[in-house]
A and B are shown apart, each in its own frame.
Chain A
Amino acid sequence: MVSAELHLGVAIDGAGFHPAAWRVSAAEPAALFTSGHYLKYAKQAEAASLDFVTLDDSLALQSGGEGVVRGRLDALLTLSAIAPATSRIGLVPTVTTTHTEPFHVSTSVATLDYASGGRAGVLAVPSLTDAEAAHFGRRRAPSPQDGEAETAEVLDVITRLWDSWEDDAIIRDAATGRFIDREKLHYVDFEGRFFSVKGPSITPRPPQGHPVTAVYGDSPHAVGADLVITRADHLDAVRAAAARFPGAKVLATVSIVLAETEQGARDRQHELDALVPFEPVGLSFVGTPAQLAAELPRWAAETGVAGFHLRPAVLPDDLDLLAGEVVPALRAAGAFRDGYRGETLRDHLGLGRAVNAYAVTPGA
């Protein structure tokens, strides 16, 4: 079966998606708090020409006790630290929306876009727990419904702030002594349910115009973005999610445990689960690289998703097999491109030029 080309992102958190991953991974625990650890995996994903890497984030410590990885670096800053050392891979950090300032979120994502030459995205998530609220002491944890509504508002206002400078606002006209044409800067004057922001941004419009916005599309309150990641755990639910966001690129999360034989993969999973029992979110795949390369195009065709957000159980083991065997097999089947065709993350995802809501000239 000839299928459409898939979009593929990969999570490079910690020692892998499985909570016992750190115990079997070659990585030293202390390395999880260094940039070199993440750079290595990002370069591996880039060598395989994947669309992007993601890093999770939260303003609370991971739960699970002393047997699991606890503690993590700020995701956006970590991907900023690897941006200058990579050249094509998209960089999509999770950024929280409840206790953070939308203005800072906007400028930090724009700046990641500058530092990476147009490869930034942002996976916006609310902070719904009491633990996170107690770290700030300013408000209670919102209901899931309000948290999602506020996230939508944050995505709305950060996009307006990116647009608040037209692309050609900087004129450096020495003759008239004007650095900018202030007619091309715009107050956003955003008044929402949760906050208000005056604008304009302090940061000129980023290289992509709009860095790629992403949300998880699982909750019934979720609203769309450029990219919607569904963590549904069976194909019918994935299909339903894809249908709910017709204007977005919908990707399905798949946790992967790979080995050269099916039995080997099952043994690996049992070994991990024996250390720390785990029910991964999203679709789950345990098997050989060839089987995964056969399943992904089939799942995409059956559900209508544009691709997958892959979560390797153990880093680097499952990423090695993904990059080294799954991707070549997908290419051989015509289900994944041979290399990068563009420079920016929007290019990789086929999102097209972002139109500036304030510009008089469409597309400017």
Chain B
Amino acid sequence: MTKQIKLAAHFPGVNNTTVWSDPASGSQIDFASFEHLARTAERGKFDFLFLAEGLRLREHAGKILDSDVVGRPNTTTVLAALSAVTTHLGLAGTLSSTFNEPYEVARQVASIDHLSGGRAAWNVVTSPDAWTGKNFRRGGFLKREDRYARAEEFLATVRELWDSWQPGTLVGDKENGVFARDPGKFVHSGQQFDIHGEFTLPRTPQGQPIVIQAGDSDEGREFAAKAADVIFSRHGSLEDGQAFFHDVKRRLAAYGREYGELLIMPAATFVLGDTDAEAEEHAREIRLQQVRPATAIQFLEQVWSRDLSGYDVDGPLPEVDPDPDAEPLTWGRVRHEKDQLALARKWRALAEEKKLSIRELVIEATARQQFVGTPSTVASTIDEYVQSDAADGFVLVPHLTPGGLDEFVDKVVPLLQERGVFRTEYAGTTLREQLF
């Protein structure tokens, strides 16, 4: 059976994927930029728009990192505002389970679900470090090993709150003067949260807003299989994708869930051109902008935890090993690989095999675009990934704000629609209706 592809648009982030130096690059903070991307995604019949969350500005070598985009808005506030300028697009945002509490997250996401008529989604993440905690009352109290325990109980508690107004609670009988009967009562006594009282919002249009989980670790996969609707993963080769897909999907049965109840949507970048060769050339230019010399050194220093500013980015990798005992030089940038020495060995082997300089290595290791080619090539590649169970769809990450999705929507989406693998009209009004 032909699978229908799911598509989401990621607002360009505060990392080096976003090319701010391009003349076509617009504001990363004005509401008009968010509105532009949301309207484009909705024009393309996308499932949802995705916004990350900022908790502290990134630092490198003791200073605020100034080479990438810096500054972003509050996630839920932008999503609520976007509900006014869209009608069907899902509105998804990250909210940390560490620097928020279940009652306020449940309330904010439920409010967006009401305000948007059933289009809210919440990406549950954990953020354990004390460095980020300096901006918060709670500080960095969470031990790394406790983070999924808290996240799981956090999500379970939020779901209890979303369910706390049973159907029929809101009576609204003007004649007899009954507005609501016994609204929102809840009690949750657990290891992480011991709370009780009354929730302030009626059951939302989706009942349970969509829950996204991002995290590739074993714990993350299990958590997603148990409790999430969508897993937001990293993109790799077709084979890697298939292995991940099958590993996550096989875990569902243990929780009494069907194969189709958890969607796997890796993040993916793309570059289009009139010919495949032109797209490749364009992609190469973009990579050079994404990994400028200073950025290449920063990435290296992030892994090495040493001052490498004296190295030539067009020369070979340093012979000295990373210093695993040193304080990290980089704060606030996601580090997928925890073992610095192992990662350095991997990078050295890659550089040796392909004869790469520092800058070329960093490009190779961190900045390869995933879908590169003509609209036809990209459409067929995306379709192949989905039909061969390497993914259920993709969260597309444009490299330009706010127009980076325009070309995809104008040129690739019609081809996916012609193939019969992507909707031409929205079905229903809620995000849940689009996804499932």
Contact = CB atoms under 8 A, between A and B. Distances in A.
Interface stretch (A102-110, A236-244, A255-263): A102-110
B249 to A, nearest CB: 35
B66 A73 contact: no
Contact of A77 (B55, B57, B71, B111): B111
Scoring B77, B83, B202 by chain A CB atoms within 10 A of each residue's CB, the highest score goes to B77
B311 interface: no
Scoring A33, A172, A275 by chain B CB atoms within 10 A of each residue's CB, the highest score goes to A33
A180 interface: yes
A137 B194 contact: yes
B198 interface: yes
Contact of A172 (B20, B56, B77, B78): B20
Interface in A161-192: 165, 170, 172, 174, 177-182, 185
A135 B111 contact: no
Interface string B285-312: 0000000101000000000000000000
Contacts of A81: 80-81, 83-84, 115-116
Interface stretch (B4-12, B28-36, B224-232): B28-36
Interface residues of A, number: 76
Contact of B68 (A30, A179, A182): A179
Scoring A68, A70, A78, A99 by chain B CB atoms within 10 A of each residue's CB, the highest score goes to A70
B31 A114 contact: yes
B114 interface: yes
Interface string B116-138: 11000000000000000011111
B101 A138 contact: yes
Given A66-B180, A70-B179, A103-B135, A83 B73 contact: no
A180 B70 contact: yes
Interface stretch (B169-177, B215-223, B315-323, B346-354): B169-177
Nearest to B99: A101
A177 B74 contact: no
Contacts of B165: 71
Contacts of B78: 80, 111, 115
A203 B72 contact: yes
Contacts of B103: 59, 99, 135-136
A204 B29 contact: yes
B193 interface: yes
B76 A108 contact: yes
Interface string B28-62: 01110001000000000000000000111100000
A134 B194 CA distance: 8
Contacts, number: 215
Q: Is the interface of B mostly helix, strand, loop or mixed?
A: loop
Given A61-B184, A77-B80, A135-B195, A107 B170 contact: no
B200 A182 contact: no
Contacts of B194: 137
Contact of A179 (B66, B112, B134, B199): B66
Nearest to A275: B177
Contact of B178 (A67, A71, A181): A67
Contacts of B195: 134-137
B73 A107 contact: yes
Contacts of B66: 178-182
Contacts of B54: 107, 202-203
A73 B201 contact: yes
Interface of A: 20, 22-24, 28-30, 33-35, 39, 58-61, 66-74, 76-78, 80-85, 99-104, 107-108, 110-112, 114-115, 117, 131, 134-138, 165, 170, 172, 174, 177-182, 185, 194-200, 202-204, 275-276
Interface of B: 20-21, 25, 29-31, 35, 54-57, 63-64, 66-74, 76-78, 80-81, 83-85, 99-101, 103-104, 107-108, 111-112, 114-117, 134-138, 165, 170-172, 174, 177-181, 183-184, 193-202, 292, 294
21 contacts: A22-B174, A29-B172, A29-B179, A33-B202, A35-B83, A61-B199, A71-B200, A80-B78, A101-B138, A107-B74, A108-B74, A115-B81, A134-B195, A135-B195, A137-B193, A137-B194, A177-B67, A179-B69, A185-B57, A203-B71, A275-B177
Given A71-B180, A179-B67, 20 more contacts: A24-B174, A34-B114, A39-B84, A59-B107, A59-B200, A60-B197, A60-B200, A61-B200, A74-B111, A77-B80, A80-B77, A81-B83, A101-B100, A111-B77, A135-B103, A136-B103, A179-B70, A182-B63, A185-B70, A202-B71
